[in-house]
């Protein structure tokens, strides 16, 4: 079991647990520098990220805002900026958490784009959905919402000549818990290789409210199950996923679920098939 865990951890470039507060801050600094280098390499000055109200987008946004703030200070160029984008589908049930995230992040700019009309309009044009079971349609449109959100973010980034930030991390990557070409699409993924408790630890180190740091994670893509916890979809907890990725013992059922899901979702972590 441990050999499989180690193999998967290497493939996902999982970072070891933070030894202490100093190690955590060193990792924050490394990831902030990574974001800054991505901007410099691209010759661009704007970062764009959708804020959902969850700890992943909160943490990525805090890193991004620090990155551009430091760039402004070190270069004297006020054009560097971070744009937070709210992307509700109609009225988001936990909008108060999303707004609390925005308030804490204090982004340089904040835009709101309601994806509801676009998703609904597309759904009426897709005749392939006609006659499908309600639950199947709901699931398909959940992925459509994620892709529409990324379309919106790239539209904003295109208007401002910026880069789109993704929020994928190792605990989601191992479960393939992202929409292919939706939230899985981005220009840079500054949380990559971190497990869930490390993402939370980084947010906490910025002083983020505990209610946001420990909020129950949800993709919130299904109309028939609003706010459905990620762990209900996984069949395992993030504590178990984190332990798995750090090579710690986990119960046999959890091992089988995580390893099996990793194998089944490999295509989501690869480039498109080519001859």
Does residue 242 carry a catalytic annotation? no
Q: Which residue, 138, 172, 148, is CA-closest to 57?
A: 172
**Pairwise CA distance, residues 88 & 178, whole Å:** 17
pLDDT above 90: residue 35: yes
Average pLDDT over residues 248-269: 97
The reply to whether 56 belongs to the active site is: yes
Element holding 38 (H helix, E strand): helix 21-42
pLDDT one-digit tens code per residue, 186-232: 999 999 999 999 999 999 999 999 999 999 999 999 999 989 999 99
Determine the pLDDT at residue 253: 98
Among the listed residues 177, 182, 267, the one whose alpha carbon sits nearest the alpha carbon of residue 230: 177
Do 182 and 143 meet the contact criterion of CB atoms below 8 Å apart?
yes
Of 97, 108, 172, 230, which is the active-site residue? 172
pLDDT of residue 160: 97
CA separation for the pair 171, 229 (Å, rounded): 14
Confidence of residue 135 (pLDDT cuts 50, 70, 90): very high
DSSP codes, 244-256: HHTT----HHHHH
| Mean of per-residue pLDDT scores for the chain | 97
**pLDDT score recorded for residue 11:** 98
- pLDDT computed for residue 92 by the predictor: 86
Mean pLDDT, range 32-43, rounded to an integer: 98
The dihedral over CA atoms of 145, 151, 157, 158, expressed in degrees to the nearest 10, equals -160
Per-residue pLDDT, 93? 84
Residue 64 pLDDT > 90, yes or no? yes
* Domain over 2-269 is classified CATH 3.40.50.620: yes
Catalytic residue among 27, 56, 168, 183: 56
């Amino acid at each position: 079991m441990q050999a499989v865990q180690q193999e998967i951890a290497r493939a996902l470039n999982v970072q070891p647990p933070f030894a202490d507060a100093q190690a955590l801050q060193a990792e924050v600094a490394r990831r902030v520098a990574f974001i800054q280098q991505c901007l410099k390499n691209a010759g661009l000055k704007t970062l764009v990220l959708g804020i959902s109200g969850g700890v992943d987008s909160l943490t990525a946004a805090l890193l991004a805002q620090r990155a551009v703030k430091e760039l402004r200070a070190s270069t004297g160029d006020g054009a560097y900026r971070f744009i937070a984008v709210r992307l509700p589908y109609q009225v988001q049930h936990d909008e108060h958490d999303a707004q609390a995230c925005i308030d804490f992040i204090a982004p340089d700019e904040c835009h709101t784009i309601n994806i509801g009309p676009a998703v609904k309009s597309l759904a009426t044009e897709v005749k392939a959905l006609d006659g499908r079971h309600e639950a199947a349609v709901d699931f398909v449109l959940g992925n459509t919402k994620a892709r529409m959100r990324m379309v919106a973010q790239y539209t904003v980034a295109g208007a401002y000549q910026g880069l789109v930030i993704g929020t994928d991390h190792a605990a989601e990557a191992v479960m393939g818990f992202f929409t292919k070409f939706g939230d899985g699409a981005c220009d840079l993924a500054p949380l990559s290789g971190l497990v869930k408790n490390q993402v939370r630890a980084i947010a906490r180190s910025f002083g983020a409210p505990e209610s946001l740091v420990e909020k129950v994670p949800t993709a919130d893509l299904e109309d028939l199950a609003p706010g459905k916890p990620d762990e209900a979809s996984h069949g395992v907890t993030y504590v178990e996923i984190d332990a798995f990725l750090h090579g710690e013992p986990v119960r046999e059922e959890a091992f089988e679920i995580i390893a099996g899901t990793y194998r089944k979702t490999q295509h989501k972590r690869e480039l498109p098939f080519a001859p």
